[in-house]
Amino acid sequence: MAKDKLSKSRELATKIIFAALQILKDKGGQAPGRDVIAAVEKRVALDEWAKATYEKSGYIRWQSILHFYSIDCIKAGYLIKKKGVWYLTPEGDAALKLGEVGLLNAARSAYRKWRDENQPQEVGTDIDVGEEGQQGQEATIHEIEQQAIEGLKKQINLKNPYEFQELVAALLRGMGYYTPFVAPQGKDGGVDVIAYRDPLGTVSPRIKVQIKHRENSATVQEVRQLMGLLQKDGDVGMFVSSGGFTSDAKSTARGSHVHVELVDIDRLIALWQEFYPKLTDEDKNVLSLVPIYFYAPSV
C-alpha cells in the first residue's frame, strides 16, 4: 500500500513539477508562488486523491507534493524561491527539454547527491512526502512561508486606498524616513507621500511616492507621470502598486535617467517583514506581524 502511494505521488509530481517550471517560463522566468500554484491547478488534471487534504496537517495533497519535490529542483539549481516569489534558472529552463519524467529524475538525482554529501547518516535511504527528513522539513517551511505571505496579501487587499497609503507611509518611517506629507482623502493623482531623510528635508534623497491600490497593473503612462514630478536634484520616485506593473512600465523605469523604484505587493511584504522591528508600536498596528522562529535548513 505504501509503495503504491509512493508511486502515485511521484507520478503526480512529474506532472505538476514540469507544469510549474513551464508556467514560470511562460511568465518570463519568475512569478509569485501563489500564481504558479493557481496556474498548475488549471493546467494539470487533478483527481480526488490529489485534491484531498492530509488529516494531520490539513494541507492539500497535490500542493504538498509540489512543495516537497520543488526542493529537488532547488538542489538541482532549476528553481529559486525567495520571499514568496519563484524564479526559473537557466538550468531549469534547459531541464524542461528532458520532459516530465526526465526532469524529475534529474532533480531527484541532484537532491540525492546533495543529501549524501551533507547528510551521510541518510545515505542509502529514500524519503517521500509525509516522511521525516530534511527534504520534508524544507518543504513544510516553504509551504508555511507561502501561507503566511498569502495571509498578508489578503489583509493588504482588504485595506481601502487610504489605509494602504498609511501602510506605505509607515513602512518609510520604519526605514528611517520622515513623512511630513501624506495626501489627505479626496486628493486625486500626483504625489501621495513625500519622505525625507531628516525632519527639514535638507538631506537627499527626497522621495516622492505615488500609490495605486486594488486596481489593474500600473501602466507606463502612470510611471512617466511620476517621472515628470521629479524636478529637483535629489528627487527619487517610488511607485507602489498592489496590482503590479505592466512590462512596459518596468522597462521604462529601468531605462529612465531619473531614479524610479517600482514596488509591487510581493516586494512591499518583503520590506514590511524586514523593517517591521524598527516600526513604532502605532505603525506596527497598521499590519501586525507575529514573529515565529524555528530551525530552517539551508536550501
- CATH class of the domain at 160-284: alpha beta
Dump strand ranges (E) for the chain: 30-32, 79-82, 85-88, 178-182, 193-196, 206-212, 235-241, 260-263
| Contact call for residues 175 and 273 (beta carbons, < 8 A) | no
- What angle separates helix 247-255 from helix 220-227, to the nearest 10 degrees? 30
Q: What is the pLDDT of residue 138?
A: 66
53 CA to centre of own chain: 24
> How confident is the model at residue 124, as a pLDDT?
40
Judge whether residue 136 has pLDDT over 80: no
- What pLDDT score was predicted for residue 221? 95
* Residue 173 grid coordinates: 518611517
Pairwise CA distance, residues 287 & 190, whole Å: 25
Report the relative pairing of strands 79-82 and 206-212 from DSSP bridges.
unpaired
Q: Say whether pLDDT at 296 is over 70.
A: no
Q: Is the pLDDT of residue 295 over 50?
A: yes
Note the pLDDT tens digit of each residue in 20-74: 999 999 999 999 888 999 999 999 999 999 999 887 777 889 998 999 899 899 9
Q: What's the chain's average pLDDT?
A: 86
Whether the pTM exceeds 0.75: the reply is: no
Domain range summary for the chain, segments of one domain joined by +: 2-157, 160-284
Q: What's residue 294's pLDDT?
A: 65
Q: What is the DSSP string of 223-267?
A: HHHHHTT--STTEEEEEEETT-B-HHHHHHHHH-SS-EEEE-HHH
Q: Is 275 helix (H, G, I), strand (E, B) or coil?
A: helix
pLDDT 10s digits, 81-129: 887 889 999 999 999 999 999 999 999 999 888 887 775 554 443 444 5
